[in-house]
Amino acid sequence: MNNDLIKNNLLYEINDLSLDNDDLILNETIFHNANGYIGVRSNFEEGYKEGFDSIRGSYINGFYDFAEMKQAEKLCGLCEEKQTMLNVADPQGITVMFGNETFSMFEGEVVESSRFLNMAEGYTGRRVVWCSPEGKKVEITSKRMTSFVSLPLFTIEYSVKALNFSSDLIFESSHIGDVKNYCNPNDPRVAGESFDHLVPVSADIDDGVSYIVTGTSKSGLTVCTAVKNVLMKDGAVECAVNGHKTAAHIRTHIDENETVTLVKYTVFSDSIRHEDCRADAAREMTEALGVSLEAHYAAQKAYMDNFWEQSMLEIEGDDDLCIATKYNIYQLLQSVGKDEYSNIAAKGLSGEGYEGHYFWDTEMYMQPFFTLTNPEISRSLVSYRYSILDGARANARILGHKKGALYPWRTIMGKECSGYFPSGSAQYHIDGDIAYSTIAYYLATKDLDFIAEKGAEIVFETARLWMDTGNYYHGQFHINDVTGPDEYTCIVNNNYFTNASAQYNLHWAVRFYNLLKEAGKLSVAEKIGLTEEEVAEFEKAEKNMYLPYDEELGINPQDDSFLHKEMWDFENTPKDHYPLLLHYHPLYIYRYQVCKQADTVLSHFIYEDAQDIETIRKSFAYYEKVTTHDSSLSTCIYSIVASKLGLADKAYAYFGDSAKLDLFNLHHNTKDGIHTANMGGNYMAIVYGFGGLRLKESGLYFAPSLPKQWKSYKFKINYEQSQIQVEVKPEESIFSLIHGDAKTINVYGKAYTLKDTLTVPMNA
């Protein structure tokens, strides 16, 4: 392997590969290939031995079917149908035969075995040296890529080298449309039942390309996968259709020390994005075959070179942590949708956990990375939310609101998928989260044209929702019967995070109205019937928003009743009873002071200017004692706020827990898919936490600190079309303007003009 990859922590490799079933299914996730449009789990091409569990899946971001969601009591407005992401086809299958023997990791002797992820060039690999029961020794390598340049394309380059024999060589390459989603009735994160979501439409072979077109059972969508097998030497290729699957039988000869390569091209197309996905798949396949595989690899590398240049983050002093951080950033890129039809699922495109649904995780945990490094992707994420704005309006009406838009708690195409509303649909803060991410995009780019086109309408309609939800009581604006981020405390009055989110949302609705009016770009107001009087009401509610505060404790209570409850008995709770939600009835949990995750502490990061530093300090100390961190969204936020408070040891301890979560399978559930929100939170814990970065209306702020475990760290961000590099060393921080116009930045509260390079002593 290239030593530079190892030095730069852009290569992850496992040697002496375990054949334990749990390890295999974990590695399906760890080494999956995705590009934001398609995702393919990293299964052995030849499969496992009979009886092994596997999640053998290929997914399209935003492609779904409807599934029944039965309600025990049919109360008004409760969801009885959900969307679920589908396993759309299996194009992975390749078996290889040498004379009368077939390669299998479970027969003969595995002499060497490894898998690797090359994050510099954007592909995964597998290498095996195998000795057959009859003594034939071969080296098999597989290189797999989902293209970031041609999003529908997935390739497998499968090479066989005969080390001590010559024989006939036969490849059997399969393309299967008759697939199902994985199910596990004992895990709430995946589907509990197996459904026939796919309906065969057609399967045919045209000029050596197999096309399988499949429909969905209820959503009315179609998908086409096309496969072409190219043998890189002379041989005979026979293709056949068998029901809703096709097979290619490829025969050739291999000599001792010769390498024979089969390249398998797969393209995906769907009816959400294309009127005729069969025709689009044919066009994409023609384009894919029109250039060499080496050209596809070169284009992928060029894309990755640009991505890492834009997204650079280096840590000196902890190689394991550095590679875990690089892995997390790479997975964010693999997971994020790059068009208005998709977003980022809770498990990305790595598995079926949470059924491919989009949550608030995107806006609060993942989008900040793209806003700072790849703003065009952040813009696309806001565009997706804009594309389902009518669905959010309809959802608001279902919940009884006469005005405004209420985004679904979990969704794919815009309809609510939450079956348990107390910890789902009641999380109205999702409106504030989406408004926040839209505002953050503007603060980073000052792209007022996009705000005029799409962003302002989101912010205005979510502001309207708060006005219809809340009411004045003793002169203050209250928001009752909602659930905050903490899902162990549900249906409460005046959740602090929700009210602070609403206040920020309302403030920016007024601000955008005035900015667009001054710029002569306020056509959206006429479009949605927004009046000056309505905007004045926004401002009044913002200024009179009720934010709970306890004088005796000097903290912000999580809600009106949180402090009235008995403390959870942590001392006598068995360690194997975490997470609590799997061992205690929800109502039992709701009656105690116990938090699943950061809630008020999250607000003290996101909306830090709403309170003084002492209130934030006391709140952090209070909630730290009652938070279980049963959610992977939690420890990164505690790390960020600990950094702000100067609690260096705590900041680093919380950070370390989050950074290695997936690569080292710390929660023992990565087999179901990566934790994309935690990966975004890991990035924020470095840049927003240790780097002290904040995007505010008044400018760009930094307050760098250096963990004692590191020698240094550095990162790049984009701000108003300029690129800035920040390098933090033990004695100083160095700010460099890589390109763009000079910027005013604030470091430790003092304003500086950054023209080329600026050095600021630590804590100056």
CA distance 759 to 725: 12
CA distance 196 to 181: 9
**DSSP E strands, 511-596:** 566-567, 592-593
* Closest to 699 measured CA to CA, from 749, 644, 736: 749
Contact of 677 with 354, CB cutoff 8 Å: no
Total count of residues recorded for the chain: 764
Q: Write the single-letter amino acid at 298.
A: A
* Closest to 433 measured CA to CA, from 633, 621, 612, 615: 633
Biggest CA pair distance of the chain: 89
Alpha-helical segments (H) within 520-634: 523-528, 532-543, 586-590, 600-606, 613-624
Q: Is the torsion defined by CA of 101, 106, 108, 114 positive or negative?
A: positive
Contact of 25 with 41, CB cutoff 8 Å: no
Give Cα 93 to chain centroid, integer Å: 27
Contact of 690 with 706, CB cutoff 8 Å: yes
* Closest to 96 measured CA to CA, from 300, 261, 279: 261
CA distance 428 to 750: 37
Contact of 145 with 123, CB cutoff 8 Å: yes
From the candidates 340, 487, 542, 727, give the one annotated as an active-site residue.
487
Q: At what angle do helices 676-684 and 319-335 cross, to 10 degrees?
A: 120
**Residue 568 has what DSSP assignment?**
P
CA 624 to each of CA 338, 584, 600: distance values in angstroms, whole numbers, following the listed order? 37, 21, 11
Active site residue 624: no
CA distance 36 to 336: 5
> What percent of the chain is helix, strand and coil (3-state, nearest 5)?
35, 25, 40
SS3 703: coil
Contact of 248 with 229, CB cutoff 8 Å: yes
Contact of 714 with 726, CB cutoff 8 Å: yes
Instruction: Kindly calculate the radius of gyration of the chain based on its CA atoms and give it in whole angstroms.
Output: 27
Quick one: tokens of 628? 């279980």
CB atoms within 10 A of CB 55: 22
CA 547 to each of CA 332, 557, 625, 717: distance values in angstroms, whole numbers, following the listed order? 34, 9, 22, 33
Quick one: tokens of 358? 């989009």
Contact of 83 with 162, CB cutoff 8 Å: no
371 burial level (CB within 10 Å; 0-12, 13-18, 19+): buried
CA distance 214 to 198: 6
Contact of 578 with 552, CB cutoff 8 Å: no
Contact of 465 with 401, CB cutoff 8 Å: yes
What positions carry a catalytic annotation? Answer: 487
